[in-house]
Amino acid sequence: MDEQKKNKSIKCDVAQCRHNLVSEHYCTLDCISVGTHEEDPTVPECTDCNSFVVRSSCCG
C-alpha cells in the first residue's frame, strides 16, 4: 500500500475515512469535494465531505 502523505491544506478528524492520516489528523487527498444535504445550510453540520470513503478494515 502506498504511503499516505498529508495535505497540509486539509485538516480532518474523520478517522473512519480511508483517506485520513489518523496520526496527524489530515486528509491525504490533493483535492476534496464538499457538499450539503440541506436546501439552505446554516451551520457546519449541514455540510458533508463527499470524498469520504469508509475504511474497509473498519467494519468487516
To ligand SF4, the closest distance from the beta carbon of 6 in angstroms equals 10
Q: Which residues pair with 45 in a beta bridge?
A: none
- Phi and psi (nearest 5°) for 25? 60, 45
Count of chain residues binding ligand SF4 (CB under 6 A):
12
* Residue 10 near ligand SF4 by CB under 6 A: yes
To ligand SF4, the closest distance from the beta carbon of 14 in angstroms equals 4
* Residue 14 near ligand SF4 by CB under 6 A: yes
* Residue 52 near ligand SF4 by CB under 6 A: yes
Instruction: State the Cα–Cα distance between residues 1 and 24, nearest whole angstrom.
Output: 18
Tell me which DSSP letter residue 27 carries. Answer: E
